Amino acid sequence: MTPDPRVSEVIARLRARQGQGPDRVHGLALPSVFEPRSLLQAPERYGVRASYERPLERLALVAIGEARSVEVRRREGPSASRGAARRALAVRAEVDAPALRPRLLGGFRFNPSPPPAAPWEPFGAGWLLLPRVLAVAEGDARGVVVAPGVEPESLNAPLTAMLDPASAPARPAEPAGLWERLGVDAVAWCRSVAAIADEVRAGAYEKAVLATSVELEGDRLIDVGRTLARLRDGYPDCHVFTLSAGGSTFLGASPELLVRLRDGRVEALGLAGSIRRGATPEEDESLGRELLGSAKDRIEHETVVRAIRERLAGATDELRAPNVPALRRLPNIQHLATEVTGRARSGVDVLELVRRLHPTPAVCGYPQDVARRVIETHEHFDRGWYAGPVGWVDARGEGEFAVALRSAVVRGPRAWLFAGNGIMGDSDPGLELAEVQLKFRPLAEALGGRPPRPRE
């Protein structure tokens, strides 16, 4: 097939740029007809290692291949990657626009201490990678950021896909039919909720977050591209992400920002307390008022916001948070949400902020050390990167990390889904079971296009 002249022109521009500076990163602007999200229709075909999107904010970062990587060892958290991340980004860059700058994409385990167990073995304790090619859509900017040593002709296929989405492989007419291979152990879940609630009422701690997992299997390979399209369309105000390793992909659409650092401004989100959506506008409003008036949910939410403020205090100035939470409404659930903002102090980068904030009480509990021990007692699976930080960082130390919620690991025809609830003193086991099952729906439906059915 004869290459499109617009693709040939980009390749020629890159070749000319590399002739002037072969050891540099080159950020080339592309016309608006190039769409980086097209690569996510068939991420395996184009060697996509990671992606990070905020559809409503018109941001998409798609990482192809790996030029360099920063690996985190067991028992090390995000702070251990700070020095190596700076070194990996210490490259000369010639860019056509500020959006087309080098960035590292990746994430970290919820708890870096235990050895990874299924299905997390390929992912390790955490990593940040500098892509060989980073396709960028940010606002009106479109472009590719190309690492040193990349052959210009290797961009032919991804550029063609960005220009012509129809060039991606055809999908099956129907998504994979899914069934539950392993569901929630309702008896064990309710027993753990009751035990934690008893301990909270006795004053042992304020809150613990109990998570669980379900395993689904399809009648054919699960289509990651189709899943991402459904998440993007259904949850445009969420953080949609993929991270791939060893034939597995961790993906999700998280409603929770952990922290963002941009132009010195720090933003974090307290998200805790939830209730279902209503079947009618009137019922929806009534449920929202019920959530805002719930003493249990307000106490849980205030615990999260208080911890965020405490942990950011030593790294920020002008720290602010509203006294009353707002409602964050998603298609199947609504949450209490509070935005916390401030100004970063000199020398503070986004990875330092991630270290301070992770894990928040929204995904762990409070106090943190006690809540971790509670999790180890009651959870009999590996959280892996679920509820860990995922996102990106640039050479200035700015970036954005979300909490990896509403997420799943996909490998071939199989998927492992994860969800959890904050347990307080007045938590009802039956209601908590219904809530955690509700939180599985976004991914289950995106993976298979319909709720999973039990295996017969």
Question: Measured over all CA atoms, what is the biggest interatomic distance in the chain, rounded to whole angstroms?
Answer: 73
In the 8-state DSSP scheme, what is residue 313?
A: T
Q: Rg for the chain (alpha carbons), in Å?
A: 22
Strands 178-182 and 453-454: parallel
Nearest to 53 by CA among 242, 205, 202, 306: 242
Is the separation of the CB atoms in 270 and 337 below 8 Å?
Answer: yes
Q: Which of 35, 217, 256, 398 is catalytic?
A: 256
Give the separation between CA 89 and CA 101, rounded to whole angstroms: 10
Count, residues in the chain: 456
Strand spans (E) along 4-102: 25-29, 48-54, 59-64, 68-71, 93-95
Amino acid at 118: A
Angle (CA) 37 449 119, round 5°: 75
Could you give the angle at which helices 429-448 and 224-234 cross, rounded to 10 degrees? 120
Q: Based on the residue annotation, tell me whether 256 is a catalytic residue of this protein.
A: yes
Q: Which residues pair with 402 in a beta bridge?
A: 257, 390
Query: Which residue in 207, 302, 352, 439 is the catalytic one?
Result: 207
In terms of phi and psi (left: phi > 0; alpha: psi -120 to 50; beta: otherwise), the region of 273 is: left
Catalytic site positions: 207, 256
